[in-house]
Structure 1
Amino acid sequence: MSGIVPADGRTAVPSRVATVSLHTSPLDQPGTGDAGGLNVYVVEVARRMAERGVAVDVFTRATAPDLPPVVELAPGVSVRHVPAGPYGRMDKHALADHLCPFVFGMLRAEAQGDPGHYDLVHGHYWLSGRAGVMAARRWGVPLVQSMHTMARVKNASLAEGDAPEPELRVRGEDQLVHQADRLIANTEDEARQLREHYGARESRISVIPPGVDLEVFTPGARREALTRIGLPADTELLLFVGRVQRLKAPDVLVRAAAELLERDPSLRSRLVVGVVGGLSGAGMHEPRMLADLARSLGVADVVRMEPPQSRERLADYYRAATATVVPSHSESFGLVAVESQACGTPVVAARVGGLGTAVADGRSGILVEGHDPADYAAVLHRMITEPAWRAHLAEAAPAHAATLGWERTVDSLLAVYGESLAPHADPLPLAAGR
């Protein structure tokens, strides 16, 4: 193992980390398919790790036969495409049947390097963790695991019409929680969920919030941003950013817009509901759901559907918005909320999961109990009709986001990595155990 404890007693630093993102590639555009906040997390952390001298190999499933085996994402960061199962898009849960070839690809990549090529494995999402734990035990290195979302938590707050997560995932997560050397929770709320839903040991959980790129997501003039995205300067833009699926609840925003216009018809000429993102999950099977809903509510004329955007372009959407709305039924953190605040735009979000950390309620945005569109409409109406109040929230938003930069995330992760590299008095078995 090349990552060792220095002679002066400082915390060990790994030389090379194997990051596992099996079901979604860091090269994918966030907001499409299964790509979202997890992808952003993997990319941003890997880049900053490499800048600090820690090489990162990201293992992901090859989705096409012509993909190069290795792609350099950034200096010191490589994406390794591992064949596992049929090419093309696959349901995430079906990937559980193809873990063995994926692990074999990881082992083969390690065998091509010097002994002790990887010092540590970091899995992202339960499928990655299931593959990661097998590789980590084979290499004799620690496994650090980030769950990002958890089946029991999602099943406890399903959107109407959404299918529950399968028992296979529940069992897999239960085993993984007890196999991992360290668990990374995005928030204290997620740490509590790990303990209460999965019986995780508190001593193995580290709370490390994700971050935001404070160089890309910066405040800017709202009117100019509206012009750049092709909207009149007097537009009241209510913005949803993310994957279009029931879990993320973009329908709540569309229903809230209908409530808002019923309350104040004079807003119709300048109200725009912007939905920036692609279909995902069960949303792939109901591609017209949102458009049909808008038509049935009589607000199709104010709903503007946009594909996922580059980070620089997305920052303009945030700057242009009156408010960014995050009405998710379940959210491990809520990177969209932090990005919006970094751009100086307040957030109206559901009081679920990590959004209580991502949004400073009453200071940089407003948290809403439940998913009643009328409650969201009331807050959004106030945002529009009380500009001084909105300006107060907007002024505080960047300062709150600044406390959640990626550099802080990487500092904390490196500390956990170092602790994991220290000799273990309590070696962990491959089989699940409490």
Structure 2
Amino acid sequence: MQVPRHVTMLSLHTSPLEQPGSGDAGGMNVYIRQLATGLATAGVEVEIMTAGTSGEVEMAPGVLVRHLDLAELGLPGGRITKERLPRLLPALLDSILSRGSGGTDLLHSHYWISGLAALELSDAWSLPLVHSMHTMAKVKDRHRRGGQLREPSERAQGEERIVQAAHRLTANTGAEAKELEGLYGARPERIDVIPPGVDLEVFHPASRPAARAELGIDSEVHLVFAGRLQRLKGPHLLIEAVALLRRERPELRLRVSIIGSRSGAEDYDLVELVHRRGVQDLVQLLPPVPPTELALWFRSADIVAMPSSSESFGLVALEAEASGTPVVATRVGGLPEAVRDGETGILVDGLSIEAWAEALVRLADNPTLRASMGRSAASHAAGYSWQHTVQLTLETYQRALADAARA
């Protein structure tokens, strides 16, 4: 079967060069960066289209990130939220089309905004299209909780168009594939399940005491959250659970490190919540950090918490486990695949403060269980590699090229 020589990826709303945990950058940015680099190593040239003002940047040998200058579209400063970006799609498309296809063999779009643009490019250039949702409007709305904004109707409608028109769809897990089928009417034979990987050279077990000493963490039970600070990710729930434990178990020594920055348009003030609950001596809010430093924080932790209301996979869980740390996560989306309940961590049913406090204290009270789960977590995560993700993606590209040739 034919293998593409050149692939154009679209990630219009966020650049793979951005720091995960800030703005709109998260696990998808890590996914695109690792996938593109792995494809280039396998001999496929990759060009990534995104919005920004940084011009052309060689991210790695064989991987070019091309920023579409928003300032040229009347937006001095070149920054725009993903909520406003759909209105700029016509101008962005004109900019891409004016450059030509550049000899690309296949389009791979990430997230719905890029998917809509890719549909037009696929038609204009007669190219096969592979699309990765990463998250879906209907899934997020199904799990929406108080304070979370409903996804715009244009997003769900756009995703329906993409599902019907893309040559292939990729899903992180079998659960996501079922959501594509049940909520969007996707044909199962056009879906390929491709789990993400983890960079095992960066995220791996090492001395916890040494990591704690380097970061200045004392002998407390250390809880870590890493991700965008928004209701969907649930750091407020972690704060509430810790405040409950302080009231009910005042002898329990806890320390909480929340790593990330505010994301999205919702009103979400964690600093105010920390002070209102009187836990400012327990909780520290830290900015996003690069992968090597994040791995250090994961190694320093006794527990990594993921109180998300929706996750297509939850790459943070895999990175934490690879670092030898058990994870407490909501039983939602792809997290039951990333976290083996009772073996590599604990899955919590629902988002009640009491249930989360109970799960956290179960591990906080049992260092032997934490150590056992940490060893199992590292073993579990070692089964995921970006090389495997790249190989499965190449097979999807081959199917897309064959499907397009038959059409």
User: Which of 251, 256, 261 is the equivalent residue of 1:278?
Assistant: 261
User: Which of 245, 265, 276 is the equivalent residue of 1:260?
Assistant: 245
Deviation at 1:392, TM superposition (A): 1.1
Is it true that 1:37 corresponds to 2:22 in the alignment? Answer: no
C-alpha contact (below 8 Å) 2:326/2:373 kept by paired residues: yes
Deviations 1:298-332 (A, max 9, x none): 21210110000010000000000010000101111
TM-score by length of 1: 0.90
Residue 301 of structure 1 corresponds to 281
Q: How many residues align?
A: 403
Is it true that 1:340 corresponds to 2:312 in the alignment? Answer: no
- Secondary structure of 2:251's partner? helix
Q: CA separation of 1:423/1:372 partners in 2, compared to 1, >3 Å: closer, same or farther?
A: closer
Once the two structures are overlaid, the 10-residue window that deviates more, 292-301 or 83-92, is 83-92
Alignment gaps of 5+ in structure 2: none
Distance in 2 of aligned mates of 1:250 and 1:257: 11
Residue 155 of structure 1 corresponds to 141
User: Which of 48, 72, 75 is the equivalent residue of 1:58?
Assistant: 48
User: Which of 79, 83, 95 is the equivalent residue of 1:93?
Assistant: 83
Residue 390 of structure 1 corresponds to 370
Is it true that 1:199 corresponds to 2:185 in the alignment? Answer: yes
Residue 431 of structure 1 corresponds to none
Deviations 1:185-242 (A, max 9, x none): 111111111111111111111111111101100101111111111222x131111100
TM-score by length of 2: 0.96
Distance in 2 of aligned mates of 1:243 and 1:226: 23
Deviation at 1:97, TM superposition (A): 1.4
Q: What is the one-letter code of the residue matched to 2:228? A: R
Is it true that 1:350 corresponds to 2:336 in the alignment? Answer: no
Residue 141 of structure 1 corresponds to 127
C-alpha contact (below 8 Å) 2:167/2:404 kept by paired residues: no
Deviations 1:94-146 (A, max 9, x none): 211111222223223335x4xxx101000000000111111122221110000
Runs of 4+ residues over 6 Å off in structure 1:
none
Residue 302 of structure 2 corresponds to 322
Residue 387 of structure 2 corresponds to 407
Distance in 2 of aligned mates of 1:110 and 1:77: 18
C-alpha contact (below 8 Å) 2:339/2:346 kept by paired residues: yes
Residue 363 of structure 1 corresponds to 343
Alignment RMSD: 1.4
Once the two structures are overlaid, the 10-residue window that deviates more, 171-180 or 78-87, is 78-87
Residue 110 of structure 2 corresponds to 124
Distance in 1 of aligned mates of 2:338 and 2:82: 27
Residue 7 of structure 1 corresponds to none
- Identity of aligned pairs, percent? 46
